[in-house]
Amino acid sequence: MRTAPPRLIAALVLSLSGAVVPLPGHAQPASSTQRTDYQTDFPAAELVARRARVYDAIGAQGIAIVQGASGLPGFSVFRQSNDFYYLSGIESAHAYLLLNGRSRTTTLNLPHRDEARERNEGKILAVEDSVQLVALTGVERVRGLDGLAADLVGADLIRPPAMTVFTPLAPMETGNDSRDELLAGQMRAASDPWDGRPSREAHFVRLLHERFPQFTVRDLSPTFDAMRVIKSQSEIALIRRATELAGYGIIEAMRSTRPGVYEYQLDAAAKYVFHVNGARGDGYASIIGGGTNAFMGHYFRKSDLLRDGDLVLMDYAPDYRYYTSDVTRIWPVNGTFTAAQRALYEFIVAYRDALLRHIKPGVTADDVLDRAAADMRQYLVGKTFASPAHLRAVQQGLQFRGHFQHPVGMAVHDVGRVRGVKLEAGMVFTIDPMIWIPEERLYIRIEDVALVTATGVENLSGFVPSSVDDVQRTIAEPGVVQWRPPTSAGTTTGGTGK
């Protein structure tokens, strides 16, 4: 039996050993003989507290109805919608939550048990598990789907005026998607005269109006957005772990980079790290672009060979227990930055460090950007670049306002605002300094995940190599793609193991 080189084994053990280490302050997952088929990251008390904030937002004359995700066809693995999971931790399809602002009680509506399906797939929490579900989630009542209409009638339709119904109107996040991309998808469908289907949210509102016209319907999405922007300690632990896996995946891709390797092979190296550490899949489709492919900000095809002399950009993170991250690095395919590449790259790293220096509670994104730009003007004194186009790019970078980017959490472009507001402890967002050189179709950036603390900031992805020396040292290490290279066309044997 062929074995891996000792150094690679040691590297993998060190980087992947976290797979069996429980998160601090969290229960270890149940053993196969003690399965609960329910999440272990959030205690019922935290879920109850989240629902209490919804009661406060909708008031005593409000009812909130939150749809869970629908079932998926074929062999696709079900993933709950983010907002529904945020309030309940339940992963059963076709579920509903009804939160009554007057009584401040929550009813969980679930389908009945499907024994034939469970024989094929295993336990699926259903209305018959009501006693267990009340204990796990802290809801007051569990009913079948047929009880939802009765609960709406009983909420005060008999004695008008009717209460206001709040339900999310923003598109439902159910995996490697974010609201901006989902809205763009809705726009494209609406623009297609042969499609034009309403969103699931619009369909649900139409049903409410048709069946209970007494209700006024209002949007619950802004309430969730405000709640989700400040992360709890339990959420931070999950984002921290997702960021670790994102970083380890990028490190393994760096190690696997050589001229002649395909972009998709770097994706495979990172996916191995993600899955062996318990991630279910992607937080978003990986962006891996060699050479001019990186100039396309969301290039996803990953079909080209990496070429000597080019840079390769990689932006990738896993979907880890409903949370993700957003980490980007760029490095030379041949393992060594040219002088021109190095000057641009070091400018970007210095900009990242300048941004992080000024993040703390009470300041705004504009404050951070203004102070970092002032620092970078001083950085540029005495610096030289390979061409006027390169100098122009870094000078324009001082004016660019997108270096301070978006929230990160249950979605990679998470909901809520971190720009135009004062920063608070518990906010998590990306710092993403970048420059463009159109004359060469060259795009340089790195991206890190910033957590605002009580006194400043923590760079959750700071362990991922970013200095020139650390990056070049990492590329020189053996990677999983070289240890177990792809098979040749028409063969069925594994790699040489060299």
What confidence tens digit (pLDDT) does each residue in 377-401 have? 999 999 999 999 999 999 999 999 9
Distances (CA, A) of 453 to 232, 241, 323, 360, 457: 12, 17, 19, 7, 5
Global model pTM greater than 0.95: no
CB atoms within 10 A of CB 222: 16
b/e map of 349-378 (b: 16 or more CB within 10 Å)?
Answer: ebbbbbbbebbbbeeebebbbebbbeebee
Cα angle vertex 208, ends 203, 211, to 5°? 120
Please state, rounded to an integer, the average pLDDT across all residues of the chain: 91
Confidence (pLDDT) at 163: 87
b/e map of 452-466 (b: 16 or more CB within 10 Å)?
Answer: beeeebbbbbeebbb
29-43 tens-digit pLDDT: 443 334 568 999 999
Quick check: 166 pLDDT over 80? yes
Q: Running DSSP on this structure, what letter comes out for residue 142? A: E
Confidence (pLDDT) at 35: 56
Which uninterrupted H or E stretch holds 238?
Answer: helix 233-256
Rounded Cα distance between 479 and 467, Å, is 20
Confidence (pLDDT) at 162: 82
- Higher model confidence: residue 353 or residue 189? 353
Confidence of residue 27 (pLDDT cuts 50, 70, 90): very low
